Amino acid sequence: MAIPAIKMLKEAKLAVSIDALFMNKVAYDAYQDSGLFDNCYYIDFFNTPKIKLLKEVYKIRRNRYHKSILIYPSNDLRYNAMHFIFGAKKRYAHDYLKKNRIGLYFLNNQRVKQSGTKHNTEENYELIKEAFGIAIKKEKMFFPKEYNLTSFAEAKIAELGWEKETIIGVHAGCDILKNQINRRWDFRKFRELIIKIAEEQGFKFLLFGGRVERDINAEISKGLADILYEVKDTTFRESVSLIRKCKYFISNDSGLMHTASALNIPQLAIIGPTNQDYIYPYNGNFIIAAKKLACMPCFEYSSEPLKCSKENKFECIRSLEVEEVHNFFIKLINKPN
């Protein structure tokens, strides 16, 4: 969610060269030719052997950067250590509200206080403002037009015979690192919701997901071939092109939620322990399906895993019923764009 802030910096037309290091291959592929960056690098931080990793880092370090920016959120000892090793004279990052004692935050010698109320994208605006002294000019999230595989998406929709259908995108998963699997709404409820909407509205569904969602997607799609197509064995670029074909998008708080937002797809975001202020679909035209419990939200950006201190664990997401979410969806489809 740093792309709008980078676009803001680029459009300020300062006499600077902007390089980017990606740890996510999908993001690297999407933005390396976006025109936002002078040079792009990709390193698989968590799967590259340590010696090879350090060699790659030191190659980039030879560029002798004057400033470097650790985008938000990056509240982790490993990110802070790597940020230091890159060797920029001024290293910008956030001063997080929740910190681990050994987080090595002091290695970032230019810090911006986390607000605790702003969207992740707006926290990144603050970093750019601090680093370059420019006024904040809000930009939307986006994917480069060249990233769209129109012919692939149109061929798939034609193969399904859905050219005249209203198509709903669904993502029933989310990240599972650090116990974040507990941000997921029950996949069986997703299935019930899909069936209910199909019966009442006659809509068709594209079910998205990666390897970590294979099992739940298989369960959701059983016996629903007439109304649902499971998108699998595709590249991210192909998935993005199919999401563009959706009239609406329903998901947990996930990367694909933000992808749909960047594509300006109206969406229903099902949120549990996450702070809605931090992660709502930034481009707008959304409705959040959520409970209103006194303990919400409990998720904070830290190096610690997601946990619930209540006796009824993760009630915020687990007690959210199909009928409630369906009512939110009806509000979405009746909402003016």
Question: 3-state SS of 178-231?
Answer: HHHHHHCCCHHHHHHHHHHHHHHHCCEEEEECCHHHHHHHHHHHCCCCCCEEEC
Q: Average of pLDDT values for 210-237?
A: 94
Is residue 88 within 8 A of residue 73, CB to CB? The reply is no
Cα(309)–Cα(312) distance, rounded to whole angstroms?
Answer: 9
**How far is it, in rounded angstroms, from Cα 251 to Cα 129?**
32
Max CA separation in the chain (angstroms): 61
Would you say the CATH fold of 145-333 matches that of 3-132?
A: yes
Q: What is the mean pLDDT of residues 44-55?
A: 90
Rounded mean pLDDT of 110-135? 94
Average the pLDDT over 130-136 and give the result.
Answer: 94
CATH architecture, domain defined by 3-132: 3-Layer(aba) Sandwich (3.40)
pTM more than 0.75: yes
Q: What is the pLDDT of residue 202?
A: 97
- Mean pLDDT (whole number) for 246-268: 95
Q: Where are the domains of the chain?
A: 3-132, 145-333
| 111 in Cβ contact with 94 (< 8 Å) | yes
pLDDT at 280 over 70: yes
Residue 337 pLDDT level (bands cut at 50, 70, 90) = low
Contact between residue 11 and residue 136 where contact means Cβ atoms under 8 Å apart = no
CATH code at 145-333: 3.40.50.2000
| 169-196 pLDDT tens trace | 999 998 888 888 999 999 999 999 999 9
Give the per-residue pLDDT at 330: 97
Cα 224 off chain centre by: 28
Band the pLDDT of 36: cuts 50, 70, 90: very high
**Is residue 93 over pLDDT 90?**
yes
